[in-house]
Amino acid sequence: MELSTLARPYAKAVFDLTAGADERAAWSGALQALAGAVVQGDLGRLLETPAVSREQVAGLIGDVLLAQGAKAGGAALPAEPRLRNLLRLLARNRRLRLLPVIAAEFEALRAQAEARVDVEITTAEADVPAAQRKTLEKALEKRLQRQVVVQWKSDPALVSGALIRAGDFVIDGTVRGELARLSQTLMH
């Protein structure tokens, strides 16, 4: 079974609990932190240790997250009982390892609700002028009819142009892409 299929109901349940953008942002940060705790470090290794129960690990992860929030000046975190309930539920169902996928599924739901899309633009040159960036971002917002959050990257192998990815939507306006299309046309 695909991990996103297992994670989606948990992400949807958490999303359904949120009342607005501020609470969604708090859950987003908390889920990202939880995912990080499970993937790396000592807490992630504790999941593999039979001497420590999954419920104990869930409690420890919650303690660490809440302590980090307090240390960061009371960073916005979801209500503690809900956070701990989620961790206990995941531990009981042996799903703590799904936290990175749950976080990703939650972000997808949040982006959809906020009419926002994450876009990755890769160009051959690293220093695209600000005016060009702004023009491209506005054109993408118009085309996708959503607010775009752009992450810029560079790859000299593209030669020239830009490769734009927004989920499954891809625009390949690179010289390398054009050469590949030309080659395909000549082969057929």
Task: Considering only CA atoms, give the Rg of the chain.
Answer: 21
Judgement on whether residues 43 and 103 belong to the same structural domain of the protein:
yes
Q: Answer whether residue 31 shows pLDDT above 80.
A: yes
Q: Quote the domain boundaries for residue 21.
A: 3-112
pLDDT digits (tens, 9 = 90+) for 82-104: 888 888 888 888 888 899 999 99
130 and 76 share one domain: no
Is the domain of 22 the same as that of 8? yes
Q: What pLDDT band is residue 73 in, cutting at 50, 70 and 90? A: very low
Q: Is the pLDDT of residue 80 over 90?
A: no
pLDDT score of 60 more than 50: yes
Q: Which residue has the higher pLDDT, 5 or 40?
A: 5
Shared domain for 8 and 42, answered yes or no, is yes
Give the domain CATH number at 182: 3.40.30
Please give the C-alpha separations between residue 82 and each of 85, 107, 121, 141, 144, in angstroms, as whole numbers: 5, 18, 37, 35, 35
Whole-model pTM? 0.67
- Residues 108, 172, single domain; the answer is no
